[in-house]
């Protein structure tokens, strides 16, 4: 084989290697993006409360408590669901939950302390619409 042919084969191998690396990194990036930024909607029956749950008492209290449900329509495609526990107080606690969770278990503590409680479901969580959560609406509860 000539030097030129060997150099071309070597160059081709490098380009193929870079191509496969790029495709691999793209697949890994896509997986982690979907894992971090999208949520799956739980079916109502999957939210059954178990006696083994450390927050069992709080969740049962919240489930049985009479509360108001509000819908906040941001635009025709995006709605946020808000739950309000009225304690006839001038103080209100706004409980913002974390990723893939809800504020149900925290509501009782603030209600017992004399606060009205506002529990908004973040975008793509609970009963709020959307596929992706994102930074652009991180302050929606303050609007």
pTM of the model: 0.60
Whether 15 shows a pLDDT value over 50: the answer reads yes
- 133 vs 36: CA distance, rounded Å: 9
Of the candidates 79, 62, 91, 90, the residue with the CA atom closest to the CA atom of residue 120: 79
Order across the sheet with 68-75: list the strands: 68-75, 78-85, 116-120, 92-94
Which DSSP string do the residues of 20-82 spell out, in sequence order? HHHHHHHHHHHHHHHHHHB--PPPGGGGPPPTTSTTHHHHHHHHHS--EEEEEEEETTEEEEE
Q: What is the number of alpha carbons within 13 Å of residue 38 lying toward its C-beta?
A: 9
Which tokens go with 68? 């108001």
- 75 vs 61: CA distance, rounded Å: 33
Q: Where do the structural domains in the chain lie, given as residue ranges?
A: 1-37, 48-142
Mean pLDDT of all residues in the chain?
A: 78
Rama region for 31: left / alpha / beta (φ>0; ψ in -120 to 50; rest): alpha
Q: Which CATH number does the domain 48-142 belong to among 1.10.287.3510, 3.20.20.100, 3.40.50.1820, 3.50.50.60?
A: 3.40.50.1820
Instruction: For residue range 21-53, list pLDDT tens digits in order.
Output: 999 999 999 888 777 666 655 554 455 666 676
pLDDT, average across residues 77-102:
83
Cα 86 to the chain's mean position, in Å? Answer: 26
Q: Which residue has the tokens 């029956």?
A: 45
């Amino acid at each position: 084989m000539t030097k030129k042919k060997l150099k071309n084969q070597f160059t081709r191998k490098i380009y193929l290697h870079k191509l496969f690396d790029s495709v691999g990194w793209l697949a890994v990036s896509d997986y982690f993006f979907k894992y971090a930024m999208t949520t799956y909607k739980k079916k109502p029956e999957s939210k059954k409360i178990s006696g083994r749950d450390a927050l069992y008492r709080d969740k049962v209290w919240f489930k049985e408590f009479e509360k108001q449900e509000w819908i906040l329509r941001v635009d025709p495609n995006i709605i946020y669901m808000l739950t309000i526990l009225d304690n006839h107080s001038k103080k209100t606690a706004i409980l913002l939950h974390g990723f893939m969770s809800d504020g149900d278990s925290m509501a009782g503590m603030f209600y017992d302390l004399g606060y009205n409680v506002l529990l908004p479901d973040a975008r793509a969580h609970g009963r709020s619409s959307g596929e992706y959560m994102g930074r652009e609406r991180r302050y929606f509860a303050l609007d």
